[in-house]
Amino acid sequence: MSESTKSSPWVWISLGLIIGLFVAFILFLDQNIVKSGRQESKAIESSGINTKPVFDFYTVLPERKMDIQEVQNSEPDVPNVSNKEKASANRYIVQAGSFQKMQDADRRKAELAFLGLEAAIKKATVKGTDYFRVEMGPLSEKQYSKIQKNLIANNMDFFARNIP
């Protein structure tokens, strides 16, 4: 063997020495951290600082009193008739389909139920022919808006009519 491929024993000895010193240094730091942590916890305990929360709710609450004054309203409570008329004027019935077979109407009602909508099937006779209408309502304007968006998003045809 040639001299260049052999490694000197001093290289291995110095490498082992460096690793040993590094491990000793880590252990020294660890011991210092543990000692300083113990000293801090003893200082906190001896200083009398209570780390547990103190609940004095039950003693403070009975001591607190509030005077609530009644306010006299000079105007009597009368419902606003114009708003009531507007609200009743904006009622809707939504028809999600009209079918000659009850099974088709029931299928559409089930599709609506999967969308979270509650529908009813009503029978109507037009020129001697029975039709089964799938209807929802009466609905307020806000409810109608939500149902309309839901039906459009799911590509369902519908017809809405305003009822008095």
Q: Taking the CB of residue 99, how many other CB atoms lie within 10 A of it?
A: 17
94, 137 Cβ separation under 8 angstroms: yes
Q: Answer yes or no: is 108 within a domain.
A: yes
62 or 23: whose pLDDT is higher?
A: 23
Same domain membership, residue 99 and residue 49 = no
Report whether the peptide linkage leading into residue 76 is cis, meaning its omega lies within 30 degrees of zero. no
Is there a contact between 97 and 134 (Cβ–Cβ < 8 Å)?
yes
Q: How far apart are CA 110 and CA 106, in angstroms?
A: 6
Question: Whole domain around residue 142: which residue ranges?
Answer: 90-163
Looking at residue 103, its pLDDT comes to: 92
Share of the chain above pLDDT 90, in %: 12
Position 50 scores a pLDDT of 59
Q: Residue 57 has what pLDDT?
A: 66
d(CA 142, CA 3): 93
Residue 35: pLDDT over 70: yes
| Distance (Å, whole) CA 95 – CA 112 | 11
Position 1 in a domain: no
Same domain, 48 and 102: no
Q: Does 126 reside within a domain?
A: yes
Please choose, from the candidates 99, 141, 145, 93, the residue with its C-alpha nearest in 3D space to the C-alpha of residue 119: 93
Is residue 73 one of the residues assigned to a domain?
Answer: no
- Of the given ranges (19-23, 53-57, 105-109), which has the lowest mean pLDDT? 53-57
Calpha distance 92→139 (Å, rounded): 5
DSSP 53-97: ----HHHHHHH-----PPPPPSS-----HHHHHHHHHSEEEEEEE
Residue 74 resides in a domain: no
65/42 Cα distance (integer angstroms):
42
Looking at the fold, whether 34 and 94 belong to one and the same domain comes out as no
Q: Which pLDDT score is estimated for 16?
A: 94
Asked whether residue 79 is assigned to any structural domain, the reply reads no
- Highest mean pLDDT, choosing among 29-33, 79-83, 120-124: 120-124
Q: Are residues 47 and 105 in the same domain?
A: no
User: Are 97 and 152 in the same domain?
Assistant: yes
155 part of a folded domain? yes
Pair (32, 94) in one structural domain: no
The pLDDT value recorded for residue 43 is 63
CATH number at residue 101: 3.30.70.1070
Q: Do both 98 and 144 map to the same domain?
A: yes
User: In the chain, how many domains are there?
Assistant: 2
